[in-house]
């Protein structure tokens, strides 16, 4: 006889008490609160044949996009596959999704989680993993549409309704519907102020609209609810640091790096991505970040041969350039070349974005700004294939703009700065770039 979780999804396991415990683990993950993996490990110690618990663990490790976690992912998926004969159809979709992801077919894995959310529209775990997959793949409109598909099956009486609204808000923001994104995000925060993803969606709206002071105040005023015990706080502090940079407060940004963003010790790639991105922006603007690059470059260097995810590779290259580690740069480019020659989702990402972006950053580190521009300019129109958000991929615009100014290419610098001013006209950073470009001679720069 089938049992069900608190949203009515069928679960093959025999113990309703264990299913209820897993629901509480799910809640921790949806709220990005600590520590869902520790809780599910405790649950599995008592219920080692609970297939959905193994699948939750496998999906969480997969969507962390860090090869350092792969041995544990293999362990969880192997356990789930061994239990597959007693699993139900919903659970088998989760098994297939995790297997595809592990095999390097991230797009297929994401679609299988998405299919599970279509067949079982209140399967919030499947939807969240598909949402994270779409984020990693840069599928901006699917971040919106995949959630929209299930909205008719949800209402305020269903546990987790606020989390659905928060995910939808982020998808709306990445699709450019800022007004509705902010409204949905704020509504989700009203339902659960601890919902870090909903806070994240509103912060992204303010980032895209250039509302730097308001954004910093918003994150500061809501932090009491989302920051304690949060696994996601480092990223929200990163967003606050971006607001400080855009308001020309570099000291505030570095304080956030020291006290909040690096506080977790950069134990996972997601934290390292933010560390690299923040220091890169500050360094591009000519600010001395001291020895901070080493603290980011060291853990990246432990992963230098992984070439597991192009977005991580590009972030690692920022750190290696910032720290002046030419040997690590060479190794990373070689690893990206090997990945690009392979098969699967990451091979495509490496070929089209990761490898040329790493080459562009290495050129920037050598002071070869013409080569930086040559490698990076063609990537901007397809940079979403590397994954991440619009705000994260803005590093392409930052790097190109600075390269054009340093090269003395007035025409290109003016063009890139005009782009930036069109959507952030009051930004002190953009205005400073415009002032520097205005001091260049207008001359033709030969990039051939």
Residue 10 β-bridge partners? 4
Select from 380, 395, 410 the last residue of a domain. 395
Domain check: are 213 and 285 in the same one?
no
**Considering its fold, how many domains does the chain have in total?**
3
Do 132 and 57 belong to one domain? Answer: yes
Residues 322, 283 share a domain: yes
Listed residue (363, 284, 362) closest to 329, CA to CA = 362
Task: Determine how many CB atoms are found less than 10 A away from the CB of residue 266.
Answer: 23
Q: Please give the pLDDT value at position 441.
A: 80
How many Cα atoms sit within 13 Å of 128 on the Cβ side? 25
User: DSSP H helical segments within 247-366, as ranges?
Assistant: 250-256, 269-284, 292-301, 310-322, 326-340, 345-349, 355-365
User: In angstroms, rounded to a whole number, what is the distance separating the alpha carbons of residues 276 and 316?
Assistant: 7
Q: Considering the domain boundaries, does residue 32 fall inside one?
A: yes
Give pTM, 2 decimals. 0.96
Confidence (pLDDT) at 342: 93
Residue 266 lies in a domain: yes
92-138 pLDDT per residue, tens: 999 999 999 999 999 999 999 999 999 999 999 999 999 999 999 99
Q: What's phi and psi for 104, nearest 5 deg?
A: 90, 0
Nearest to residue 31, comparing CAs of 191, 230, 183, 238?
230
Asked if residue 358 and residue 251 are part of one domain, the reply reads yes
CA angle 308, 131, 48 (to 5 degrees): 75
Residue 279 lies inside a defined structural domain of this protein: yes
Check if the beta carbon of residue 236 is closer than 8 Å to that of residue 216: no
Cβ-based burial of 408 (10 A; exposed 0-12, middle 13-18, buried ≥19)? middle
Residue 430: inside a domain: no
C-beta of residue 284 within 8 angstroms of C-beta of residue 312: no
202/123 same-domain check: no
Are 248 and 287 within 8 A, CB to CB? no
Q: Which of 395, 426, 443 is the last residue of a domain?
A: 395
Domain membership of residue 441 (yes or no) is no
Q: What are phi and psi of 41, to 5 degrees?
A: -65, -40
Over residues 20-28, the mean pLDDT reads 98
Does one domain contain both 193 and 208? yes
Give the model's pLDDT for residue 263: 82
**Same domain flag for 316 and 330:** yes
11: β partners? 3
pLDDT digits (tens, 9 = 90+) for 355-384: 999 999 999 999 999 999 999 999 999 999
Both 155 and 115 in one domain: the answer is no
How does the average pLDDT of the chain come out, rounded? 96
Whether residue 256 is contained in a domain is answered as: yes
The domain in which residue 69 lies consists of: 1-137
Residue 359 falls inside a structural domain:
yes
Under the banding of pLDDT at 50, 70 and 90, the label for residue 264 is confident
Cα 402 to Cα 175: distance, rounded to the nearest angstrom: 27
More confident residue, 360 or 443: 360
Q: What are the tokens at 24?
A: 């509480």
What pLDDT shows up at residue 443?
55
Integer Cα distance of 259 and 112 in angstroms: 39
Residue 83 clears pLDDT 80, i.e. is over it:
yes
Phi, psi of 181, deg, nearest 5: -60, -45
- Of 230, 264, 279, the residue that ends a domain is 230
Element (H, E) at 302: none
pLDDT tens for residues 315-341?
999 999 999 999 999 999 999 999 999
Percent of the chain at pLDDT > 90 equals 95
Question: Are 170 and 202 part of one and the same domain?
Answer: yes
- The three-state (H, E, C) secondary structure of 141-173, written as one string: HHHHHHHHCCHHHCCCCCCCHHHHHHHHHHHHH
Are 54 and 44 contacting, i.e. CB atoms less than 8 angstroms apart? yes
Give me the CATH number covering residue 113.
1.25.40
The mean-pLDDT minimum among 44-48, 86-90, 188-192, 261-265 falls in 261-265
Whether 397 and 368 have beta carbons less than 8 Å apart is answered as no
Q: Give the whole-angstrom CA distance, residue 116 versus residue 363.
A: 44
On whether residue 158 sits in a domain, the answer given is yes
198, pLDDT greater than 90? yes
**144/124 same-domain check:** no
Question: In the numeric block, which tokens belong to residue 296?
Answer: 């980011």
Residues 293 and 364 in one domain: yes
Angstrom distance (rounded) from CA 71 to CA 34: 21
Helix axes 161-174, 196-208, angle to 10 degrees: 20
Looking at the fold, whether 7 and 127 belong to one and the same domain comes out as yes
pLDDT at 444 over 60: no
Question: Residue 122 and residue 100: Cα distance in Å, rounded?
Answer: 22
């Amino acid at each position: 006889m089938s049992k069900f979780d608190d949203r009515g999804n069928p679960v093959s396991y025999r113990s309703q008490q264990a299913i209820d415990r897993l629901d509480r683990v799910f809640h921790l993950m949806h709220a990005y609160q600590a520590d869902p993996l520790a809780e599910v490990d405790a649950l599995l110690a008592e219920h080692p044949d609970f297939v959905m618990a193994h699948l939750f663990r496998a999906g969480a490790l997969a969507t962390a996009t860090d090869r350092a976690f792969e041995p544990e992912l293999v362990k969880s998926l192997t356990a789930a596959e061994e239990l597959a004969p007693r699993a139900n159809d919903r659970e088998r979709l989760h098994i297939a999704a995790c297997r595809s992801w592990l095999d390097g077919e991230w797009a297929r894995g994401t679609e299988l989680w998405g299919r599970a959310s279509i067949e079982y529209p209140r399967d919030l775990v499947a939807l969240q993993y598909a949402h994270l997959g779409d984020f990693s793949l840069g599928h901006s409109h699917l971040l919106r549409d995949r959630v929209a598909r299930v909205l008719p099956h949800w209402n305020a009486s269903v546990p987790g309704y606020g989390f659905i609204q928060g995910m939808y808000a982020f998808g709306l923001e990445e699709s450019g519907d800022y007004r509705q994104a902010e409204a949905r995000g704020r509504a989700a925060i009203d339902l659960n102020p601890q919902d870090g993803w909903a806070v994240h969606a509103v912060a992204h709206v303010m980032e895209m609209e250039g509302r730097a002071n308001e954004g910093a105040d918003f994150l500061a005023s809501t932090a009491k609810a989302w920051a304690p015990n949060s696994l996601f706080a480092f990223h929200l502090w990163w967003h606050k640091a971006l607001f400080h940079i855009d308001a020309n407060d570099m000291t505030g940004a570095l304080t956030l790096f020291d006290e909040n963003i690096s506080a977790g010790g950069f134990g996972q790639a997601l934290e390292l991505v933010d560390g690299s991105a923040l220091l890169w922006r500050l360094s591009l603007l000519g600010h001395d970040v001291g020895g901070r690059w080493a603290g980011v470059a060291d853990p990246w260097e432990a992963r230098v041969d992984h070439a597991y995810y192009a977005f991580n590779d590009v972030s690692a290259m920022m750190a290696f350039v910032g720290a002046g580690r030419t040997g690590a740069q060479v190794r990373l480019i070689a690893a990206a070349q090997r990945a690009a020659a392979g098969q699967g989702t990451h091979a495509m990402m490496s070929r089209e974005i990761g490898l040329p972006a790493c080459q562009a950053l290495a050129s920037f580190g050598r002071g070869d700004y013409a080569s930086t521009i040559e490698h990076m300019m063609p990537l901007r129109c397809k940079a979403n294939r590397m994954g991440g958000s619009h705000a994260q991929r803005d590093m392409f615009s930052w790097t190109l703009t600075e390269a054009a100014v340093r090269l003395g290419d007035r025409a290109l610098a003016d063009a890139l700065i005009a782009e930036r001013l069109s959507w952030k006209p009051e930004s002190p950073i953009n205005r400073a770039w415009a002032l520097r470009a205005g001091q260049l001679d207008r001359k033709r720069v030969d990039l051939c």
